[in-house]
Amino acid sequence: MPDRARRQEILAQRMTEAGVDLMFLPISADLEYLTGLSRRVMTFGNVEYAHHFVAGAFFAPGRPPLMLLPRMIYEFDLPDGFEGDAVIVRELDDGAAAFEKAARSFGTTGKIALGPRTWAETVIHLLAAVPGTELVDAEPIVNPMRRIKDAEELETMTRACCIVDEVMGEITPAVVAGASELDIARDVDHLMKLKGSRTASFDTGVWSMGPGNSRDATVRISDSRIEPGVGVSFDFGSVIDGYCSDFGRTIFVGEPDSRYREVYDAVMAAQAAGMRAATPGTTAAEVDSATRRVIEDAGYGRWFRHRTGHCIGLDVHEHPFISEEDRTPLEVGMTFTIEPSVFSPGVVGVRVEDVIVCEEGGGRKLNTYPVTMAVND
């Protein structure tokens, strides 16, 4: 089990160093990391209860966390209670008064850090409760803790990666001419669930690109039937104990031509170059550059249209990003994706994606699925 008490001690130290008196985190990956309160599986629209704006917890150095939850969240998401103080706001309670009392119980606060996804309604009530306080972003305090994974976290993420590896192996024979992208995506999601994934870590993508096919990667799934002579790209991830995986491969249907083979080799070589560059002290931007340079040298730089990757853990996309603007130095234990691609509509589509952990000698994959070219008749 994670040592959340120790995590809270480190958080208090970091808050003190940053001159932050109080922190409020809404229900989020940050709150799950620090308290174990699991997030609900996301839906397309809001899932909300009476007084939902109070949902979260206050943290202050020298005090246990103070959790505030609408009754229904407490009833169903914390059935075993909470190791700390908790305020349960019931439907007929005055939610604003309960929130104000909780905020003021910490005394005078000069600086309050807020989780970056805190609802605007919560911020409005917080400013009313403690007027004149300075609000700052909590992410620079919490994210450096989360981005370095310990052995237990790495083991959990490896399990999440194992699921997608197994699903890719089982789904590959179904990727043939005439098969439906929708049916394949449905089967991917079903297989992940059967293997223990709580949910898909993001919307599953299955799409085909190639000569005579004007399809672009911006359309991640459709009711199209797969035609011969195209590459079918995959983008999907699983969730184990709150931790995410993110994975991608491309399977060719038919007989690949020389251009497809050239692009495929360039994309796989680009990922390998990024992994070699991913050593401690190297910046995220430098890993992006090392990856991108291989595809640019092959003449396909115009069609590598997204960043090289992103950190990953309790959220599928975390900071820092493996991208040209991010100068964050890598550290041992950071986990991130390296996912180069070439997406040229009407010409070719190839991608690869694996979760990588930074180690002294460079990046190591948590996935084990091969990158050898897969071709189905």
The tens digit of pLDDT for each residue in 236-266 reads 999 999 999 999 999 999 999 999 999 999 9
Q: Is the dihedral of CA 104, 105, 107, 113 positive or negative?
A: negative
Torsion of CA 248, 253, 257, 262, to 10 degrees: 10
Mean per-residue pLDDT over the chain, rounded: 95
Between helix 139-147 and helix 4-17 the angle, nearest 10°, is: 140
Look up the CATH number of the domain holding residue 45: 3.40.350.10
Do both 128 and 162 map to the same domain?
Answer: no
Q: How far apart are CA 251 and CA 286, in angstroms?
A: 29
Do both 181 and 99 map to the same domain?
Answer: no
Do both 83 and 194 map to the same domain?
Answer: no
Size (the chain), residues: 377
Q: How far apart are CA 294 and CA 271, in angstroms?
A: 9
Burial label for 150, CB within 10 Å (0-12, 13-18, 19+), is exposed
Do both 172 and 301 map to the same domain?
Answer: yes
* Predicted confidence (pLDDT) at residue 170 exceeds the cutoff of 90: yes
Supply the pLDDT for residue 46: 85
Supply the pLDDT for residue 163: 98
Given the DSSP bridges, would you call strands 205-209 and 230-236 parallel, antiparallel or unpaired? Answer: antiparallel
Q: How far apart are CA 65 and CA 57, in angstroms?
A: 6
Number of compact structural domains in the chain:
2
Q: Confidence band (pLDDT; 50, 70, 90) for 298?
A: very high
Mean pLDDT of 315-322: 98
Partners of residue 364 on adjacent β-strands: 357
Do both 84 and 95 map to the same domain?
Answer: yes
Instruction: Name the residue range of residue 349's domain.
Output: 148-376
Do both 136 and 164 map to the same domain?
Answer: no
Distances (CA, A) of 262 to 23, 312, 372: 52, 30, 13
Give residue for tokens 């449905």. Answer: 186
Do both 221 and 338 map to the same domain?
Answer: yes
Partners of residue 112 on adjacent β-strands: 22, 135
Residue 282 carries which side chain, given as an amino acid letter? T
Q: Confidence band (pLDDT; 50, 70, 90) for 191?
A: very high
Q: Is the dihedral of CA 95, 97, 98, 104 positive or negative?
A: positive
Last residue of a domain, one of 145, 170, 185: 145
Supply the pLDDT for residue 82: 72
Give residue for tokens 């890598």. Answer: 330
Q: Confidence band (pLDDT; 50, 70, 90) for 216?
A: confident
Supply the pLDDT for residue 22: 97
List, for residues 70-96, the tens digit of each pLDDT value.
999 998 887 777 777 899 999 999 999
Six-digit token string for 59:
């943290």
Residue 31: name the closest of 21, 39, 41, 20 by CA.
39
Percent pLDDT > 90 in the chain is: 88
Do both 157 and 243 map to the same domain?
Answer: yes
Cis peptide before 320 (omega within 30 of 0): yes
Give residue for tokens 């009711």. Answer: 223
Q: How far apart are CA 251 and CA 351, in angstroms?
A: 10
Last residue of a domain, one of 114, 145, 176: 145
List, for residues 109-138, the tens digit of each pLDDT value.
899 999 999 999 999 999 999 999 999 999
pLDDT: which is higher, 191 or 85: 191
Supply the pLDDT for residue 183: 97
Last residue of a domain, one of 95, 130, 145: 145
Supply the pLDDT for residue 204: 97
Give residue for tokens 């309960």. Answer: 98
